[in-house]
Structure 1
Amino acid sequence: MLTSLMRGTTALVCLSLAMPATAQDSDPGFLGTLILTGGKRDLSFGTALSRTVVGENEIMDRQASTVAQLIDSVPGVTLVNGTTPQGSGINIRGFGANTTFGSDQKIAIQIDGASVGSEELYRIGTQLFTDPLLYREVEVLRGTIGSFAYGSGIVGGVVKLETKDASDFTGGVPGFGGAQTLSFGSNGSAWVSSTNLAWMPTEGAEFLLNYTLRDQDDLKAGDGTTIGNSGFRTPSFLAKGTFTFGQDDAHSLMFSHSSTVADDKDVPYDQFVTTADSFGRVDRLTETTQTAVEYRFNPVTDLVDLRANLSYADQAIDSDYIPGSSPLEGTPSFPFLLETVNADQRYETAKLTVTNRALFDTGAIAHDMLAGVEAQRRIRADNTAGSAPGGTNDRFALFVVDEMSMGQFTVTPAMRYESSSIESENDLAGVPDTYEKDALMGGLALAYDFGVGLSVFGSAAYTEGLPIIDDLGTSDTAQRRIGMSEKSNTFELGAEYTSTDVFANGDTFTMRGNLYRTELSDITSYTVAGSTATELDRVESSGIELEASYGTASGFYADFAGHIGEGTEFNPDGTDATWRNTPSDRAQVTLGRKWEERLDLSWELIHAVDRRDALGDDLPDSTVHNLRATWTPQAEGWLDGSEVRFGVENALDTDYVGHLSSPSRKAPGRSFNVSFTKSF
């Protein structure tokens, strides 16, 4: 199967397309040195890291209702359980959100540097609860090798979100600016209003306010049935300010605060299903806020580029059980169930990260070194639900990433040391109240540039997942888990090619592919199927990720993104099975044409095979077609500065269940979407 799919995918890659390359200042280390801008997607070149950037134009074109729904087009990324902010989750290379929790601690999510998510709340996918229209770009780093500046135990990857800036609307010059976006979707009678107000009083100061209100009724599936528990109403708010000052503008200070709220009445407690099950129904208020302050000192010297980021993330989920909604009322098991569904959850994460990027030479070796220190405190409020214990987790980390260039060779070692201390909020009878653990982890990336647009790269990375607050407890199982750290080894090998005038004068072609293999051992977060206390012995996963772009001078373009993978979970008794969270094999092709800055038309085809639902049952192959158009009027008057977007999602009204989703939660059927944006 893997070999035949590789042949088919290679044939598709030969059709894949990109637009001209542009350089971009990116993160230090091997986090990317050149961004190649394609029709819909930016590709990294000159890096050993699997990195994909979803820019603002694509965010607007896709008209997604959640960030998870937006980035599931990235190779190896799976959207788990639907298109609602509360129920959906992000899975990368088989790790992250799963069919039980919104997170398994193996991917990291950051908003302007603030760490969000990472709580194992039963049947609530609250890994990333926010609105896509607050952001100017979303960056997805796949695998472990690029994660050492962001955390420990990261196996799937990192999702980094950057909020919008006032200068995006003022053109970077003093004055007022802004934009108003109105959107409507036929499926679920969805509508969105997003207002941006920007002000730059001087060149050294800018302020932005954003208010977005998103509303959606229950969606319809491809067969016309209603997808229960799929409606929501979420107001979101963003305030951001940036100040630049000092000689040569060497100093800058950024402040951002964002918040999203949902007040749901009479909804199933289990966010992964469409109708209430034994857990019954609740009134649930969910509120997530992120605040970040970043100071940067970047004088005219290669040795200093200092950043200090202080962030605070807070998520509160208050649930009130609706009496009579559970069929288990009156049974012996109901009191424990009531503790779970009638609980108020809250966790707060405060973090300070200080880094410095230095450029220097030692003989024939040129260094691009990022060094940093990080301190973090996470507080989990106590409640009566045994599945969500209260406590405090203090962590301290040191990390360094040094990209060393020697002619056509680049060698990049990376290391991270992290210590963790967990203290229970309540006395744990018969067991310790405090637990400590530390780990040293790291990786090595190698790259060689042949100088003709072709380069090869490889990497090896080791990381450890330290115990978390959720592991607190007095049972033998809890004590075993909190005394261990999960260990992971990941190896990658790949190549990339970029050139111009490949098939015709003025065209550009970029292609990147990599193979990865990951082994997870000393497992504490996954149990043997049918057991709640016996952990898997190990998990092995591997795959191929392909991205490519091609563009012509006349405006024709095509993008390709694909993933082929397989995984195995091994039980302690020597038996094995297919890894339950393995991504499906998937190919996505976008063909389009641009007429300068006036019109962009595209057709997107997504074909997925080897799919399974949340219960592990096989699903048939699925093929989905999406059509999109962006019109930018070149006219004076009230149309000046406006953009009109039209899309048809699931154009053929295909009836299917998403990979790893609950069998009752079908994917949305056809929707006609239209949006109008007016800049001023």
Structure 2
Amino acid sequence: MIRSHYLRGTTALVCLTLAAPAAAQEEGGGFLGTLVFTAGKRDLSYGGAVSRTVVDSEEISDRQASTIAQLIDSVPSVELINGGNTPQGSAITIRGYGATTSYGNDQKVAIQVDGASVGSEELYRIGTQLFTDPLLYKEAEVLRGTIGSFAYGSGIVGGVVKLETKDASDFTNGEIGLAGSQTFEFSSNGDGAVSSTTLAWQPTERAEFLLNYAWRQQDNMVDGDGNTIADSATEAPSTLAKGRFIFGEADQHSVMFSYTHSVTDEKDVPYDQIRSPYYFAFGNVDRRTETRQAVLEYGYNPLGNDLVDLTANLSYSDQDIEQEYIPGSSNNPDAADLANADQRYQTTKLTVKNRSLFSSGALEHDLLTGVELIRRERADNEEASAPGGEDRRFALFAIDEMSIGGFTITPAIRYETSTIESASDYGKFENDALMGGLALGYDFDNGVSVFGSAAYTEGLAIIDDLSSTVTTTDMNQTEKSQTFEVGASYTGTDLFAAADSLTVRGNYYDTTLWDVTSYSGVDHVETEGFELEASYGLANGVYFDLNGHYGEGTEFAGNGAETTWRNTPTDRLQFTAGRRFGEELDLSWEVVHSADRRDSTGEDLDDVTLHNLRATWKPDARGWLDGSQVRFGVENVTDEQYIGHLSSDSRPAPGRNFKLTLTKLF
């Protein structure tokens, strides 16, 4: 339901926030994305009623992130469970959904790598499974909320994280020949070291191949008081191989193949990666996690035919977690059974979609239709209370962006079926759901636009819900949610000075989740919040970026008791001031203030303000400096001692950290 202050928030939002109309459409179709020019460090990308943020390749390099989660935690309403400086602590939440203090994912946030679904397993106390290096990627896109999710899955309440790997043409600039890069990065806190080597070959204008090997290592880090952060050491190699072919008389055919492989190998570390207050009861393990994704994509876009723009994406993801209990590391007699349990998930997915552009009377249509087949297998492991099985799904979706004058009307629909068969004689369960939404927008043709949306989705039961006490009711009940959003945006130039530019976007969301099965003791959840993104730039290179989130959440028990929603995002405001000196030098100062914070047990934490400094130098020179890039950063400049929001007090956040990155393009 929507509380009365929803209307008050809507009125305030329309009055106080302005933003730009959509100009260019995202490949996924319809309201799923548009691009707006900004002069700040981050291009602000919008999609009608979709809250969409893109972290591009330049920002990926400048942020010097250690994990994918740390890369996107600057996006409004994105939070990390237990921090993001190690792969084991980089569990992602969006608007309070996604990771929890018990599991690495609650199925309400989807993560994709080149279209392959990854990191969606509900493994008890093991945390996130998104072990991959940020240097493999040229773009990280975050879709917040439900309205932009219907082409990517069901039951998505928090949003979607889409990662796109680098292409050879990013290095060759589309020219025939060899190219590549070598990157070295060093960090003071934990004596971290990174090497990333990329080789790119373009034998013809229609063929390209890329190979990347990244190796990342760090010792245990220290917090702001100089104390060692236990078990924060990590070593993680990653590999990317990718190729692309274009063929046909009019280059109407394309084929892309990508393969990523990442490994983490930990020795004598707590089984409980989330490090709950009683993590010691689970004991320690030697754990090796190996993750693979393979994607084969075919595209067909005939010249002169606006009705056909076909893409067929076949993906396979495989995650294998091997664990061995350290004898005597726990006094719990059952710890060894849980800690010795290996885990393996394999997901095969085929998505075929087509985009059509056509007119019907005065209406202009941008129609995306698709079909999806998914097969997910989980290895059987009774010792870990993780029964195996197979989850087969079939889905149809359609998204139609209809434009007339300044109005845009975008209905979206998804139908999905699921058949789960247990490998342990727990039975066979079949479910289906119809879900969808409607987005409305109006462009005033003066830089101002307003938009709103309503979306409904259902989360079908998954293999992880199987257990020895499973009931038909448990496996046949779907989690349901509805989300309402409203907002406004503005973009303009020559406002306060000649050739300046301003882009501002604000949106209010209100979400209700009911028929809850993911969280113990919860009947339904209500969350609401306000998200803001803004960028202002001057002709002399000075720029300012601002983004933030303010919200609240309430969970309701079956008896009606109310408490603060356990995963409510912190109230956060992030401000960046910087200046570019031509194309050679970029200096910036970032301030992040977080309030209304809690630890993993729900106890209140003090507000915290962090300062980060960054400098990027790309010398315009010949000789050995040609193609070189130097980046220097200081994280947590004031060496603050603090616990991250929703983190365990046994894993405080890192203190001051100097980072130096050297890149040579060739």
The aligned amino acid for 1:591 is A
Aligned match of 1:644 = 630
Deviation at 1:665? 1.0
Distance 1:357 1:24, change over 3 A: closer
Partner of 1:506, secondary structure, is coil
> Any gaps of 5 or more consecutive residues in structure 2?
none
Aligned match of 2:448 = 454
Q: Could you tell me how far apart the structure 2 residues matched to 1:479 and 1:134 are? A: 43
Q: TM-score with structure 1 length normalisation?
A: 0.94
Deviation at 1:46? 5.4
Q: Could you tell me how far apart the structure 2 residues matched to 1:452 and 1:46 are? A: 18
Aligned match of 2:299 = 296
Aligned match of 1:674 = 660
Partner of 2:288, secondary structure, is strand
Aligned match of 2:37 = 36
Partner of 1:247, secondary structure, is coil
Deviation at 1:276? 6.0
The aligned amino acid for 1:620 is D
Aligned match of 2:330 = 326
Aligned match of 2:313 = 309
Distance 1:612 1:208, change over 3 A: same
Pair 1:69 & 2:70 matched: yes
**Equivalence map 1:444-593=2 (5 Å):** 444-475=438-469, 478-528=471-521, 536-593=522-579
> Any gaps of 5 or more consecutive residues in structure 1?
329-333, 529-535
Deviation at 1:480? 3.2
Distance 1:177 1:25, change over 3 A: farther
Deviation at 1:24? 7.3
Deviation at 1:649? 0.3
The aligned amino acid for 1:316 is D
Question: What is the root-mean-square deviation in Å for CA atoms of aligned residues?
Answer: 1.9
Q: Could you tell me how far apart the structure 2 residues matched to 1:26 and 1:434 are? A: 37
**How many residues of Structure 1 are paired with residues of Structure 2 in the alignment?**
652
**Equivalence map 1:239-638=2 (5 Å):** 239-273=241-275, 277-300=280-303, 301-328=305-332, 334-335=333-334, 337-428=335-426, 433-475=427-469, 478-528=471-521, 536-638=522-624
The aligned amino acid for 2:488 is A
Contact kept? 1:263, 1:285, Cα under 8 Å: yes
Deviation at 1:126? 2.4
Contact kept? 1:340, 1:384, Cα under 8 Å: no
Deviation at 1:364? 0.1
Aligned residues: percent identity? 64
The aligned amino acid for 1:494 is G
Which segment drifts farther, 598-607 or 338-347? Answer: 338-347
Contact kept? 1:198, 1:206, Cα under 8 Å: yes
Deviations 1:88-113 (A, max 9, x none): 20000000001110000000000000
Q: Could you tell me how far apart the structure 1 residues matched to 2:198 and 2:513 are? A: 44
Q: Could you tell me how far apart the structure 2 residues matched to 1:652 and 1:381 are? A: 47
Contact kept? 1:339, 1:384, Cα under 8 Å: no
Q: Could you tell me how far apart the structure 2 residues matched to 1:411 and 1:229 are? A: 51
Aligned match of 1:532 = none
**Equivalence map 1:126-137=2 (5 Å):** 126-137=128-139
Q: Could you tell me how far apart the structure 2 residues matched to 1:480 and 1:613 are? A: 33
Distance 1:655 1:514, change over 3 A: same
Deviations 1:299-322 (A, max 9, x none): 111110000000000001100001
Contact kept? 2:516, 2:523, Cα under 8 Å: yes
Q: Could you tell me how far apart the structure 1 residues matched to 2:177 and 2:240 are? A: 20
Q: Could you tell me how far apart the structure 2 residues matched to 1:586 and 1:515 are? A: 15
Q: TM-score with structure 2 length normalisation?
A: 0.95
Aligned match of 1:120 = 122
Aligned match of 2:206 = 204
Q: Could you tell me how far apart the structure 1 residues matched to 2:37 and 2:317 are? A: 33
Deviation at 1:25? 5.4
Deviation at 1:489? 0.4
Deviation at 1:116? 0.5
Aligned match of 2:181 = 179
Partner of 2:464, secondary structure, is helix
Partner of 1:590, secondary structure, is strand
Deviation at 1:471? 1.0
Partner of 1:252, secondary structure, is strand
Q: Could you tell me how far apart the structure 2 residues matched to 1:587 and 1:87 are? A: 23
Distance 1:412 1:555, change over 3 A: same
Q: Could you tell me how far apart the structure 1 residues matched to 2:70 and 2:512 are? A: 28
Which segment drifts farther, 442-451 or 268-277? Answer: 268-277
